[in-house]
Amino acid sequence: MYKEHSRVILTEPVKDDDGGMMLPGDVGVVIHVHPRAEAYVLEFVGVNGATTAIATVTPNQIRAVTSHDVLHARVMNESPARVN
């Protein structure tokens, strides 16, 4: 179970609340834990600190951040097929 304000990493693609796609490896912050931790609401921010997306995910769609993870930047509006 993750607590609010925990950083987590997506393990699979998920649609955000506006219909955009968040990709595996995207880092989010838990902003709400649903009852019994059946789902989490995540906030994703850009490098400027502004919120770029909000998404609700299930526990199997995220994992904890580790000391071996490295951050990576991508353009949000770009097609996932073109992201390298």
For residue 66, report the phi and psi dihedrals to the nearest 5 degrees: -120, 170
Q: Which of 25, 24, 26, 33 is nearest to 5 (CA)?
A: 33
Q: Quote the distance between the C-alpha of residue 25 and its chain's center.
A: 8
Query: In this predicted model, what pLDDT tens digit does every residue of 15-71 receive, in sequence order?
Result: 999 999 999 999 999 999 999 999 999 999 999 999 999 999 999 999 999 999 999
Contacts 24+ apart (CB under 8 A), 41-44: 42/8, 44/16
**pLDDT > 60? residue 84:** no
Number of H helices, E strands in the chain: 0, 7
